[in-house]
Amino acid sequence: MELLTLSNGVLMPALGIGTFLMTPDQAEEAVCQALQCGYPMVDTANAYRNEKAVGRGIRKSGVPRDKIFLVSKLWPTVYTAPDAVDRTLERLGTDYLDLLFIHQPAGDFLAGYQQLEAALQAGKVRSIGISNLKGEKLDRLLAACAVKPHVIQMEAHPYCTQKEIKSILAPYGTVTMAWYPLGHGDKALLQEPVFAALGEKYCKTPAQIILRWHIQMGHAVIPGSTNPDHIRDNAALFDFALTDQDMADIAQLDRDVRYYNPTPETEENYASFAPDFDSQP
Ligand SMILES: NC(=O)c1ccc[n+]([C@@H]2O[C@H](COP(=O)([O-])OP(=O)(O)OC[C@H]3O[C@@H](n4cnc5c(N)ncnc54)[C@H](OP(=O)(O)O)[C@@H]3O)[C@@H](O)[C@H]2O)c1
């Protein structure tokens, strides 16, 4: 398994299971299976309302907590709640997180990030990050923060490599974790001829070629799946390598196309979207 070194020296695995849009039962099952077949990382969020189930999946897997890189995200409605981190830990049934993000650039996101910095200082989290920040809000955060983000979680896939944000963050050594690494399962992406051709060359599926491309781009990936075959296949990325020419062929697909295009209003509305994170099975 490949590891990425964060700017504070913490080693982060390059592969994890994503749990966005999973019901609690699905998340428990997917996390348990993923850990049992060798995934070392799990990504969840307050807003997914499956943190308790993720905690159960971890315990059910039998994999010791210290062998798992556990990631969650604070939602904007708790950016100023002093117990936001503690309640996240409680729901997951753990006493520390390996990485905690602020999920959205909404509300008082600077206060949310300060909570992460305080949690880092208190030893409740081992590393901290930002998600979905860009433009002026990213500039404001970088100017205000005491600890530069160790990781940014953002949409990235072969149609969208996020060159601009990566270059802004490069001086700080911020590592990219790609969400929608498979384009949220978009058939147009998975069926691009270049992935079929490379799949044939390496005896891999198009999804495995895409995920391997991420790894070689230096991204951590957190593909989401509730399909046991996909969960197993998505972990088989470390027994082959794409050549420079393969990478250049895939680079032809980069066209700055995103699947998620929030308006500033949509984004700001997250600050008043307040699900009850504790009422989940
Ligand atoms: N920070 C943020 O704002 C944010 C936003 C979105 C997502 N995320 C995180 O990123 C993770 C990944 O995003 P995502 O799950 O939405 O999208 P994704 O990983 O790009 O794609 C998931 C889709 O691809 C399918 N799939 C998975 N493996 C496959 C394979 N080997 N072959 C064919 N299809 C496959 C899945 O269907 P099956 O279930 O049938 O396999 C599912 O429909 C999330 O789970 C979440 O943890 C973060």
Pocket test for ligand 1, best of 182, 213, 222 (most atoms within 8 A of CB): 182
Cα distances (angstroms) measured from residue 38 to each of 15, 173, 205, 207: 10, 27, 19, 18
Q: Degrees (nearest 5) of the Cα angle 64, 68, 73? A: 130
**For residue 16, how far is its CA from the centre of ligand 1 (angstroms)?**
11
| Nearest protein Cα to ligand 1, atom 28 | 230
**Residue 199 contacts residue 205 (beta carbons within 8 Å):** yes
Residue 1, pLDDT score:
77
Task: Tell me how long the chain is.
Answer: 281
Q: What is the pLDDT along the chain (281 residues), one digit of tens a residue?
A: 799 999 999 999 999 999 999 999 999 999 999 999 999 999 999 999 999 999 999 999 999 999 999 999 999 999 999 999 999 999 999 999 999 999 999 999 999 999 999 999 999 999 999 999 999 999 999 999 999 999 999 999 999 999 999 999 999 999 999 999 999 999 999 999 999 999 999 999 999 999 999 999 999 999 999 999 999 999 999 999 999 999 999 999 999 999 999 999 999 999 999 889 999 99
Give CA–CA dist 52/122, Å, rounded: 23
Q: Which positions are annotated as active-site residues?
A: 48
176 three-state secondary structure: strand
Residue 146, pLDDT score:
98
Residue 52, pLDDT score:
98
Task: List pLDDT tens digits, range 116-141.
Answer: 999 999 999 999 999 999 999 999 99
Which residues' Cβ are closer than 6 Å to ligand 1? 18-20, 43, 103, 131-132, 153, 179-185, 190, 205, 207, 222-227, 230, 233-234
Domains and CATH numbers, the chain: 11-181+256-272 (3.20.20.100)
